[in-house]
Each structure stands twice: as C-alpha cells, then as structure tokens.
Amino acid sequence: MSAEADPIPILSVEDTPPPTMALVRFAPSGSKQDYLRRLIRRKAATLATQSSLALIFACILLGGCHSQKGKQGPSIEFTKIPPAAQGGRERVDTIAGRVKGYRPGEQIVIYAHSGPWWVQPWPDQALIPVQADSTGSSPTHLGFEYAALLVEPG
C-alpha cells in the first residue's frame, strides 16, 4: 500500500510580503528636563553608593595592616652566632642573644643543627637563664643552623 503525500507548496520571493519594521522610540513621561534630572540623581546615588563601599573596603583593608606591637609575644634576637660548620665534641664556640617580652623565670634552650638537631651545650645543661639585662649566652657545639626557644619554668 503506497500513500502519496500532498505536495508542499513552494512560495517564490515575489509571493512573500516584505517584512515591516517599526521604529519605537522611548519617550519618558514628563519633559525631557525632568527625565534628565531623574537620570542624574540615579547616577549620583549609584556613584555615592560605590564610593561609600570603596571607602569602607579601604578602611577595613588598611585597618588590618596596623602594627601589632602591643600584641607581640616574646622574641629572641641572636647577637653572636658561631660560624656554620660541622659540629663535634671539640668544636665549641659561644652563642649569645637578647630576649624581648619575656616573663620572669623563663629560660632559653639552644639547639644546633649538625645532622640532627642537638640540645646545647649538653642535654643535662639545656636551660640557660635570662640575665637582668635581658641577655643570655652559652657555649655551643658548632652546627649549620641554630635555634632558640624561650621556655617557662617547670
């Protein structure tokens, strides 16, 4: 059973009407002067809001960058550091430093790095007292790096 489909009509260009275009123009209510005033007010309000946000952001950003000297913890500044060299039982020099912001009774522990980190000058002599002028010094075996900790008593 064969069914024939109805033929599809083909229209020529001459048979189709040309497209129509309409020009629509926005006409604000009221006078042109009123429209411009409203537009300027809106732009000024947007600009003021953006400026306020930028100012708030700048204040937050700069406020986070202030010096925190009052909130700093203690620190140790080395004033004399032995040369960086391979350590050994016989290779000893003096290490010294100044402690800032320490509490009475706190002591210094020095480490030298030569292979592993070693407590200086010896594990049974690890605690170095902080002097009245906030300084401390100790003999140390040589190492490639040095570190110090400020520890509480006990």
Q: Which residue has the tokens 């200086």?
A: 120
3-state SS assignment for residue 17: coil
How does pLDDT run across 74-118, given as a tens digit for each residue? 999 999 999 988 888 888 999 999 999 999 999 999 999 988 899
The structure's pTM equals 0.54
Round to whole Å and give the CA distance between 110 and 96.
10
